Amino acid sequence: MGTREIALVTGASKGIGAAIARSLAAAGYDIWLNYRSDHAAAEQVAQSIEAMGVTCTKVPFDVADAAAVKAALAPLLEVQAPFVLVNNAGFTRDALLFWMSEEEWKSVLSVHLDGFFHVTHCVLDRMARRRKGRIINIVSTSGQTGVAGQVNYSAAKAGVIGATRALAKEIARRNILVNAVSPGFIETEMTEALPKEQMLAHVPLGRFGTPEEVAGVVAFLCSDAATYITGQVIGVNGGVFI
């Protein structure tokens, strides 16, 4: 058997990122598992991945810190380039714009937009030289419709959607496919504080989704069944945005 392909997943110590890492491991990828600071959670995910018979390399760094991204990834990229990059790292700092601080605005944009740029920029050259790869950006229904109280998050995710479409056009000739997966309400730590019953009234399927349902779409986009799909935004939202 030849060397397995690698999938780099950011923000993968919990929630959707952890589910994506496990799903890609189950599909036969070795995993580069990025997270910022929760070493215990990352170790738990890594052990579950290695139990599948693939390797999991933990790569802790803050995606918003350009120097940290380069320092962590450059030594790995000298040896091997990933076939898959999943830009998943993200967080929310909800507030009405009237009361939103500049720090709440900038921190959310920095993790999502700067994070996308730093990690993708670091990986892209090696990926392009191999003339094959998949880049999948985890966005949000908030970036497609806009959500009150999330002007920063909606702006950041809308920006990543635009970047997805532009990058797909730039590197299609290098056989690198770039797509976005857009979750709606998913059962994670990020949605625990939401008024669930109130939210469900807006979801045609009448329930929140699971991280595994998002991960399944990512795994499909990384598979040989998805070789003619690029520049797309695929919703996993229970019909909340159609």
The answer to which of 10-24, 52-66, 112-126, 189-203 has the lowest mean pLDDT is 189-203
Candidates 29, 35, 153, 228; catalytic one: 153
Q: How many angstroms separate the CA atoms of 174 and 185, rounded? A: 34
How sure is the predictor about 193, in pLDDT bands with cuts at 50, 70 and 90?
low
> Is the model's pLDDT at 138 over the cut of 50?
yes
* pTM across the whole model: 0.95
> Is the model's pLDDT at 192 over the cut of 70?
no
CA distances to 34, 41, 57, 233, 234 from 156, rounded to whole Å, are 20, 26, 28, 15, 17
Q: Is 153 a catalytic residue?
A: yes
Q: 64-116, pLDDT tens digit by residue?
A: 999 999 999 999 999 999 999 999 999 888 899 999 999 999 999 999 999 99
User: What domains does the chain contain, in order, with CATH numbers?
Assistant: 6-236 (3.40.50.720)
Mean pLDDT in residue range 227-234: 98
> Starting from the edge strand earliest in sequence, which strands make up the sheet with 84-87, in order?
56-60, 30-35, 6-9, 84-87, 133-138, 176-183, 233-236
> Is the model's pLDDT at 209 over the cut of 50?
yes
Q: How many angstroms separate the CA atoms of 183 and 15, rounded? A: 12
